[in-house]
Structure 1
């Protein structure tokens, strides 16, 4: 018989429940001892008397076992076609058991190389087993405290599950955004390339227009200089002509001596 993975929770010895080789019929019944007296002539000795617990103690023990089984269900596994069941132990824990539990916890943390900080599934598993064992020990002494600790354990697990769901949702959201960004990256790169090409074309057009504008300004400047020179020459010509006409007119008008 190979038991399942060892746990920090204390269990009773495994019990064989059924075998594949057992062939039971619906009519099969448990054997009963015949009430007839034995053939021997001598008196039959009575079996040794067993101390039976009182009714209240038996009922309390049964209730404790039921609570333990509801908190920590029995482990079941199949080996070679045989079904084995292992129930949680209902034996009260001593001070030595608690010390051994602490030492075993530290040993397994070191053996399985659990991280001391951060998220560590190994550390969480071992501490969960240790907490279950503490719940078992407390439940045996006081079922009410055990049930209260059970509520605390379930609340912690529910909170961790909520955080895990939130983390997985965040990771999935981040992955979706990353994929969307990756898909839009090529379109964005093409858009950037088109804008850069358009920018270079516009810069080329600007340079051509600047050159054309400079050419027009130079041509206009040269033409203006030519016009100014021509205008100046005309003015000078007109001044000379005016002076000549004035001189001639004065010569005509002036009286002869």
Structure 2
């Protein structure tokens, strides 16, 4: 943290360590019932509830480090601000946009402000704790929404890419079908032109033959007419 973890560390046996032997002397009387004032939480207990102590194992002992319950002065707040600016610069936190480093440092700074406020007024510290938890919950909700929207966008992009591939494949198939149809059309046109040419030639031959037959019949008719006239003329 930026500030606030005090040096009040204490060690206690690890779990599983045999308990100390029971006293052999007379059993002490049960503790008296605490009054309402005595049962109220002390500032250190509230601080431990807000900012849980750190625990680690060392030399077969469990060490616990609690946040300091020493009130902060105006100079400490100024130093906290200087430390925040220094850490932001050292860790190269971005000034705008989403930055996990900046968020982490400001979260630590806010925890320290909650600690300092709780020492002076426990109720105000608990209220700030509610504000902190609400902010964290809101940020978590936005993060979940962002991740789900990114996943949704990726799915849509993959679907669009897959649809694009299918569409490109379909376009290629249609273009191939179009080329085949154009080839068939060309072949049919060639066949039609050949048939038309053949029929034109046949018609021309038929017309020429018909014309020759007509001319032959005309000449024959003329000859027969002339012969008939020559036969009829002497009789007159």
| Structure 2 segments unaligned to the other structure (5+ residues) | 26-35
Shift of 1:239: 4.6
Q: How far 1:72 moved relative to its partner?
A: 1.1
1:16-31 map, 5 Å: 16-19=10-13, 24-27=19-22
* SS of equivalent residue, structure 1 residue 84: strand
1:231 aligns with 2:210: yes
Q: Which of 57, 75, 86 is matched with 1:96 structurally?
A: 75
1:105 aligns with 2:105: no
Contact persistence 1:14–1:84 (CA under 8 A): no
Q: Which piece of structure 1 moves more, 9-18 or 172-181?
A: 172-181
Q: Is the 8 A contact 2:3 2:80 kept in 1?
A: no
**Is it true that 1:164 corresponds to 2:143 in the alignment?**
yes
Q: How many residue pairs are counted as aligned between the two chains?
A: 224
CA-based RMSD: 3.9
2:8–2:68 CA contact under 8 A, matched in 1? no
**Is 2:91–2:101's contact at 8 Å kept on the other side of the alignment?**
yes
| TM-score, reference length from structure 2 | 0.72
Residues 106 and 254 of structure 1, relative CA distance in 2, 3 Å threshold? farther
Between structures 1 and 2, the one with greater helix share:
2
Q: Which residue of 2 aligns with 1:85?
A: 64
The equivalences for 1:1-257 within 5 A come to 7-19=1-13, 24-27=19-22, 62-173=41-152, 198-241=177-220
Give the drift of 1:206.
3.2
Q: Is the 8 A contact 1:12 1:88 kept in 2?
A: yes
* TM-score in terms of structure 1 length: 0.67
Q: 1:108 to 1:222 in 2, by over 3 A?
A: same
Q: Which runs of 5+ in 1 are unaligned?
A: 1-6, 31-54
Q: CA deviation at 1:132?
A: 1.0
1: distance between equivalents of 2:8 and 2:226? 150
